[in-house]
A and B are shown apart, each in its own frame.
Chain A
């Protein structure tokens, strides 16, 4: 055993980069909402980037470590502490047996990620460790973590030499999480039905902020917009959708599909959030505003490539820093 949930969070699950290859059976991919933060957490502890991590929402689980481990917390800032002492985001931390990790306040962002060196000992379901809540499969018994759950880490590491009698130790390097992208806009690409929006609706789409409503979870973010018009057209038969697809619902409101989206849908697809901005989007909370800006495929691909290069560089740097400890 390596860690135990001593108090349950609102919805904390095991997630990796998602389960692909089964959407033709209606099995949605799941996976981390903020895959950038999830990969940074893995890089910091020297894991493969696709290793499964814990995705935490606020209020989050209280976690007791039952053996020394190396961990990293990334993504949302929930004001974390170990044994009551504040600990930083985006840094490796060696924890000791009986250390307790707690999250106190939702300071910024919506989802935090906890990676453990070596990853979790857990069965794969259809080649992935992601929790699929709909299918109640994958991850930890196919469900969110509860009080008393015990997770085993694969780590064989000997961490006592890091600790020198101390309770826990924060490793002295930080991941630069922002990757230079501080723009407030969420970049989008036109969807198949973009042209069915009248000019005034398109203008509103790109010119006014859209508030995220309370209906914002792993499945999708409902937006609280003034109803948008759409030109009449034939009713659509269902077809595949994807993470980031923005659909126009019959009442004129928008929904952005997120990690637990259905595999197919029959509503007009007016736009798609570019993949490089999924991470930024996943950290938005209810009542926050989204500013959409149109871009093109070339830019979308370049930004994604840049983001992935940044994570790779970070991974290499962390592996180098971790060498003396190996």
Chain B
């Protein structure tokens, strides 16, 4: 019997307490009212877990002048109020240095965390060509059948790495290599509910908007509702699984 090589894919993070690996980061200003911590410009689950854990930590250990923190794939940006902070400082010294010191203190705290968000969201998608302007193109380019596409797209549980672009737009990954598809050269008007692919990311348009992702299906559910207490259906850290519905189910959802 040979060795089983354990790769990241086999690690189950769900509610397993673990010590944070010492991941190194860079810190740089984003203008004069924000700064970014950067773990290395990559789409990588271990890095994103660190980003999300640090994001939660920053929210709970707010320093004076903290406005908000925004997690992304491999970075975390902290927005602060420099005028408020400068009132607390001696004559010399910048608000940026003050915030950098607070953040360095917080980051020095060894983080024993578990994935705090273990929400799983199931989303119905109709992969009918009539609702999916780029379906034929992607089948042709990637030389797969529509059945294969559905089975590949619904066959994985995706992670919401980050939110951005539009209110409620979730960047999810990663799709099977056989589904990977470059963005469109020119953005086209894309309907609300459209499920798209860009590279190895997948996402859903919460609003009708210009967009460059290749559209393979459409969901009947609402990704954004301003009247809900939490207006967006998804949040960073969520797990998402798609399931296939037919045109009739879509129309009567």
Residues of A in contact with B (beta carbons under 8 Å apart):
20-28, 125-126, 132, 134-137, 142, 189, 191-192, 234, 236-242, 244-245, 262-265, 269, 272-275, 297-298, 300-301, 304-305, 308
Contact = CB atoms under 8 A, between A and B. Distances in A.
16 contacts: A25-B163, A125-B226, A142-B226, A238-B164, A239-B36, A239-B38, A240-B77, A240-B164, A242-B34, A263-B163, A263-B165, A272-B31, A275-B31, A297-B94, A300-B31, A300-B32
Contacts of B29: 189, 297
A269 B43 CA distance: 19
Nearest to B89: A301
A245 B32 CA distance: 11
Given A135-B224, A301-B94, A239 B72 contact: yes
B171 A263 contact: no
Contact of A238 (B31, B32, B162): B162
Contacts of B75: 239-240
Select the residue from B31, B168, B207 with max chain A CB neighbours within 10 A: B31
B71 interface: yes
Nearest to A142: B226
B154 interface: no
B28 interface: yes
Contacts of A275: 31-33, 82
Given A26-B165, A240-B30, 10 more contacts: A23-B68, A25-B235, A135-B167, A136-B226, A142-B226, A192-B38, A242-B31, A262-B166, A275-B31, A304-B32
A130 B99 CA distance: 28
A220 to B, nearest CB: 14
A24 B32 contact: no
Contacts, number: 145
Contacts of A126: 231
A36 to B, nearest CB: 13
A297 B72 CA distance: 24
A23 B30 contact: no
A130 to B, nearest CB: 13
Nearest to B69: A24
A192 B40 CA distance: 13
B79 interface: yes
A26 B164 contact: yes
Contact of A242 (B33, B86, B171): B33
A23 B34 CA distance: 13
Interface string B165-195: 1111101000000000000000000000000
Given A25-B167, A305-B86, A238 B72 contact: yes
B31 A28 contact: no
A241 B67 CA distance: 15
B213 interface: no
Contact of B43 (A24, A27, A237): A237
B96 interface: yes
A126 B230 CA distance: 9
Given A239-B72, A301-B82, A245 B231 contact: no
Contacts of A142: 226
Interface in B18-34: 28-34
A264 B226 contact: no
B32 A134 contact: no
Interface string B58-95: 00000000011111111101010011001000000011
Given A297-B94, A305-B82, A264 B32 contact: no
B57 interface: no
A301 B32 CA distance: 7
A240 B74 CA distance: 11
B241 interface: no
B167 A192 contact: no
B41 A237 contact: yes
Contacts of B166: 26, 134, 262
Contacts of B42: 237
